[in-house]
């Protein structure tokens, strides 16, 4: 019998004995190995028996022997591949734990050599990177030799694959696993340019990860950590899987905190001015703001270093604060943000119309009737109340504190982002470098950032309109963008365009119960004095808030036309209809309209009885027809049967102050019927006014 035949016989005999007498099988193999020490099959069979019996120590010794003596055998590499796969997967499976134990029994140099050899056997870029990463984590001294080359290979693979997002498997491995090993290794000495390159790659990944949009297929809802508004990047509530990675490997915890920590490490490696660990984002901005003051006085080398530091820090603070602001005003944009309990609906930044009723001075009040302004009105909270959140440049942002619990943080993030933007555009060199970063990151495609930029320049109306025109093409942003367009058109004096946009928004709204709205308002504190002209207001994108704003903005559009020296009864009639909302806030303006009608001696508005249901207004107009009221000629009835037939609930109720004395029967009857409509939902009436009279409303404006 040949030697090979003898070996095969011995191995076969040992296999047969394993189930019955494993010790006898082991004795056969020991004898066989003594006779044929260079035979691979004998030694591999010995290893297989120990592995199947899960005897860690003996299996490790035998694996070491066959790895050293037979490194070219394919079966060996298949076995090593199984072990390294168990090492990479972090599985808690019993067999996987055994395989890890076998690997741990090997001497360190053998482990290192085995991982290197296993890496060479990989042809898949991602698998090769994971294998090499395993080596770097277990043997930090190998980072100097392999760290940068691994990082570059991952970035190159990302380029070759032509991936459309930085949130991909290659970038994730580079940023979250490889780069920390490189930056924290004291023996690494990287050029400053490479540090900035890696820093920007990491920042782009973290920002895009945090701001990723909800998946189209509605991914399964997962567990939610308890997290505050201060860090919406924490406790993501939807499972998110990066293509090429497992669900567990796709998770990035505390992305903003990781990025801030990386800034500190890179800053110390680049010898940044005044850099210290554990800074917050606001402290970063404060430091670079100070640095800007003497940047121009430094030499060329110092100028370049300061410029790089300022641009990097300001850019990160800008995106960090802009994200937190947008996540508060438009939470549905981001993956997992829908679970935020503090803000459940979008918010929109618009012109503050608090002065729409109060900026007209009335010289007299009618002596025949004294009306008290309602108590319990809302006290607006502006960004500089108590904490002076918006002191300095820019416009104040007015927020209803009760409606937005996190209003202070939201306004502060807006102010910080705006300050960062201003700083980045305070010097040509800073702006140039910032534009380069934005171009590389394709920030023009970030709709969430466009929302912030639009809100930031909302008072630069032409620029804002250009930006809003792009956003209105997105169904998610349509209503929000259109109402901001209306606000900008109004500020530019383009009242017809503003009205068209407002009516477009109103057509998609459903009026709420006006009584419910009024009762909630009555709980608010009295309205304080408002600034004139320059404030902005954050309001919820709900019918309850948007419809009143639209009514007030339309009132502002018609008000100027109604009170010019030229007579315009149609505009004045529209103003009277719109003044019914939030009554008696607009009482002074209504009395001014009455003064104008008295001066004219007549007034024609045939829609009066279709939309005016306010009892105070009805009494005022009834009084104007009397001798005491001046016998003003009122043409308020439609030309033909447009008078609304309403069941006369108060059939025997008559309007006071002599309306029944010497007035025409049809006018008196119309007034009697109109009184019975005073209980109608006012928002429904005004909503119907906007819908039915859309063409007339638009044509009434220049």
- Residue 254, SS3? coil
For residue 366, count other CB atoms closer than 10 A to its CB: 14
Contact call for residues 590 and 651 (beta carbons, < 8 A): no
Name residues of the chain where pLDDT drops below 70: 1-19, 21-23, 28-29, 32, 35-36, 90-91, 215-239, 275-278, 297, 299, 335-344, 358-395, 459, 461, 470-477, 513-534, 639-664
Rounded CA gap, 409 and 418, in Å? 14
Task: Show Cβ contacts of residue 467 under 8 Å, excluding neighbours closer than 6 positions.
Answer: 450, 453, 454, 457
Q: How far apart are CA 395 and CA 245, in angstroms?
A: 46
Instruction: Count other C-beta atoms under 10 Å from residue 8's C-beta.
Output: 15
Q: What pLDDT sits at residue 645?
A: 38
Residue 456 burial (CB count, 10 A): 21
Residues 239-264: tens digit of each pLDDT: 678 888 888 888 899 999 999 999 99
pLDDT tens, position by position, 79-114:
877 887 777 776 677 777 887 787 778 888 888 887
Whether pTM exceeds 0.85: no
How many CB atoms are located within 10 Å of the residue 316 CB? 24
Q: What contacts 24+ positions apart, CB below 8 Å, involve 543-546?
A: 543/509, 543/510, 543/511, 543/512, 544/512, 544/517, 546/348, 546/479, 546/483, 546/505, 546/509
Measured in degrees and rounded to the nearest 5, phi and psi for residue 539 equal -130, 150
Which pLDDT score is estimated for 175?
94
Question: For residue 629, what pLDDT is reported?
Answer: 77
- Cβ atoms within 10 Å of 151's Cβ, excluding its own: 23
Phi, psi (rounded to 5 degrees) for 238 = -125, 145
pLDDT at 99 (0 to 100): 78
The number of angstroms, rounded, from the C-alpha of 531 to the middle of its chain's C-alpha atoms is 30
Crossing angle of the two packed helices 569-578 and 682-692, in degrees rounded to 10:
150
Residue 373 CB coordination number (10 Å) = 11
Q: Distance between CA 55 and CA 102 in Å, rounded?
A: 9
Structure-block tokens of residue 297: 């006085």
Query: How far is it, in rounded angstroms, from Cα 281 to Cα 322?
Result: 12
SS3 88: helix
Distance, in Å, from the CA atom of 631 to the CA atom of 597, rounded to the nearest integer, reads: 11
Distances (CA, A) of 80 to 69, 117, 119, 346: 14, 10, 11, 54
For 188, residues 6+ apart whose C-beta sits below 8 A from its C-beta are 143, 144, 147, 148, 182
> Which helix or strand (DSSP H or E) is residue 550 part of?
helix 543-562
């Amino acid at each position: 019998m040949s030697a090979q035949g003898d070996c095969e016989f011995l191995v076969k005999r040992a296999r047969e004995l394993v189930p019955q007498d494993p010790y006898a099988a082991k004795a056969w193999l020991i004898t066989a190995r003594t006779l044929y020490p260079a035979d691979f099959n004998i030694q591999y069979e010995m290893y297989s028996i120990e592995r199947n019996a899960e005897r860690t120590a003996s299996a490790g010794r035998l694996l070491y022997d066959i790895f050293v003596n037979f490194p070219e055998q394919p079966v060996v590499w298949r076995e090593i591949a199984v072990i390294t796969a168990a090492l990479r997967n972090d599985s808690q499976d019993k067999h996987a734990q055994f395989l890890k134990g076998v690997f741990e029994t090997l001497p360190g140099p053998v482990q290192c050599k085995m991982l290197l050899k296993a890496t060479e056997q990989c042809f898949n870029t991602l698998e090769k990177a994971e294998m090499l990463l395993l080596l770097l984590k277990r043997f930090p001294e190998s980072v100097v030799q392999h760290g940068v080359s691994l990082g570059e290979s991952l970035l190159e693979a990302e380029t070759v694959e032509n991936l459309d997002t930085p949130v991909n498997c290659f970038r994730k491995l580079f940023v979250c696993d490889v780069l920390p090993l490189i930056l924290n290794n004291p023996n690494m000495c990287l050029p400053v340019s490479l540090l900035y390159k890696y820093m920007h790659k990491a920042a782009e990944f973290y920002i895009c990860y945090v701001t990723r949009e909800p998946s189209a297929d509605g991914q399964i809802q997962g567990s939610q950590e308890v997290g505050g508004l201060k860090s919406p990047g924490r406790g993501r509530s939807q499972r998110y899987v990066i293509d090429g990675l497992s669900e567990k490997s796709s998770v990035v915890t505390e992305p903003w905190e990781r990025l801030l920590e990386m800034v500190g490490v890179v800053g110390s490696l680049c010898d940044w001015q005044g850099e210290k660990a554990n800074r917050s984002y606001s402290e970063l901005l404060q430091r670079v703001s100070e640095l800007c003051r003497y940047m121009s006085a430094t030499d060329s080398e110092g100028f370049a270093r300061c410029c790089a530091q300022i641009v990097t820090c300001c850019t990160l603070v800008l995106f960090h604060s802009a994200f937190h602001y947008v996540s508060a005003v438009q939470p549905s944009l981001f993956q997992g943000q829908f679970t935020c309990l503090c803000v459940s609906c979008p918010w929109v930044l618009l012109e503050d119309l608090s002065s729409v009723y109060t900026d007209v001075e009335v010289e007299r009040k009618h002596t025949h009737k004294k009306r008290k302004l309602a108590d319990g009105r809302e006290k607006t909270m502006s960004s500089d109340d108590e904490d002076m959140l918006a002191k300095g440049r820019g416009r104040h942002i007015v927020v209803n504190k009760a409606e937005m619990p996190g209003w202070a943080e939201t306004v502060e993030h807006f102010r910080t982002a705006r300050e960062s933007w201003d700083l980045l555009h305070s010097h040509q060199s800073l702006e140039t470098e910032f534009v380069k970063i934005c171009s590389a990151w394709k920030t023009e495609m970030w709709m969430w950032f466009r929302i912030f930029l639009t809100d930031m320049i909302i008072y630069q109306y032409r620029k804002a309109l250009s930006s809003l025109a792009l956003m209105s093409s997105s169904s998610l942003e349509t209503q929000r963008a259109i109402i901001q367009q209306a606000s900008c058109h109004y500020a530019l004096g383009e009242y017809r365009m503003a009205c068209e946009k407002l009516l477009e928004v109103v057509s998609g709204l459903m009026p709420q119960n006006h009584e419910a709205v009024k009762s909630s308002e009555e709980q608010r504190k009295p309205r304080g004095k408002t600034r004139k002209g320059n404030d902005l207001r954050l309001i919820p994108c709900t019918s309850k808030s948007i419809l009143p704003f639209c009514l007030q903005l339309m009132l502002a559009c018609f008000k100027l036309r109604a009170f010019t020296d030229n007579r315009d009864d149609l505009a004045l009639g529209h103003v009277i209809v719109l003044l019914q909302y939030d009554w008696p806030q607009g009482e002074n303006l209504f009395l001014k309209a009455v003064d104008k009608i008295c001066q004219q001696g007549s007034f024609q508005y045939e829609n009066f009885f279709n939309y005016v249901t306010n009892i105070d207004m009805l009494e005022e107009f009834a009084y104007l027809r009397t001798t005491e009221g001046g016998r003003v000629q009122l043409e308020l009835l439609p030309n033909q049967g447009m008078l609304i037939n309403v069941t006369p609930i108060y059939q025997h109720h008559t309007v006071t102050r002599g309306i029944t004395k010497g007035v025409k029967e049809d006018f008196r009857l119309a007034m009697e019927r109109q009184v019975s409509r005073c209980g109608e939902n006012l928002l429904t009436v005004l909503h119907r006014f906007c819908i039915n009279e859309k063409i007339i409303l638009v044509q009434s404006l220049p």
